[in-house]
A and B are shown apart, each in its own frame.
Chain A
Amino acid sequence: AQTVTQSQPEMSVQEAETVTLSCTYDTSESNYYLFWYKQPPSRQMILVIRQEAYKQQNATENRFSVNFQKAAKSFSLKISDSQLGDTAMYFCAFIASGAGSYQLTFGKGTKLSVIP
């Protein structure tokens, strides 16, 4: 069974600063995908970034980047130049594509507050 752990229930960051959210996962699969999703207050889940396990290069999407450490089973999200609109719950998620499964396994989330 796969598990995803987000050890920071809440974090805050000053506007324009950089913040890193942590995620670790446990799996015996070698082929998988990792995702970060953002869920703003009372709004729907939005895909932020994805990483394929077979790719060594860390994914980047504008101000969002990941630090993927496969051996350590770590997948952190860095948000640069934080904006007020980044205030949200952030969920790390995993799909064991090698097992033929399509279900996402989520962590419990990190509540990020961007302070003006």
Chain B
Amino acid sequence: DTGVSQDPRHKITKRGQNVTFRCDPISEHNRLYWYRQTLGQGPEFLTYFQNEAQLEKSRLLSDRFSAERPKGSFSTLEIQRTEQGDSAMYLCASSSAKLYEQYFGPGTRLTVT
């Protein structure tokens, strides 16, 4: 068990570009979550998958954001036409079906210039 991993750890992009982040959950966990954390704030929920099904989406997840978990294993989060307000830490977490505690990855820090 190597924990939740995320790639890349840092991403700098220009406004208007598309970016994609990857999350690999703990292998036996069937639930996967995406959160966004801005400086000085707690993480805010974006979306959640159970296996390959996307079951919850926050109103924060605008049309420019899309997340997938095609085979119920890793997940990707894509942001299209990035804006400066998208600059944040994007956190991924996973949990098992039996327990509510979520385990977080190291995050991807996005900077939009």
Contacts and interface: CB of A to CB of B under 8 A. Distances in A.
B102 interface: yes
Contacts of A47: 101-103
A35 B43 CA distance: 13
Given A45-B43, A91-B42, A108-B42, A103 B104 contact: no
Interface residues of A, number: 23
A112 interface: no
Interface string B74-106: 000000000000000001010100001111111
What range describes how many residues of B lie at the interface?
Answer: 20 to 34
Contact of B45 (A43, A44, A45, A104): A104
A95 interface: yes
A101 B33 CA distance: 12
Contact of A104 (B35, B41, B105, B106): B35
Interface in A79-116: 91, 93, 95, 97, 101-109
Interface in B1-59: 31, 33, 35, 40-45, 48, 55-56, 58
Contacts of B40: 108-109
A91 B55 CA distance: 25
Contacts of A50: 100-101
A105 B91 contact: no
Interface of B: 31, 33, 35, 40-45, 48, 55-56, 58, 91, 93, 95, 100-107
Instruction: List 10 tightest A-B contacts by C-beta distance, closest first.
Output: A106-B42, A45-B104, A103-B45, A44-B106, A33-B100, A91-B42, A95-B100, A106-B43, A108-B42, A109-B42
5 contacts: A44-B104, A47-B101, A91-B42, A102-B56, A104-B93
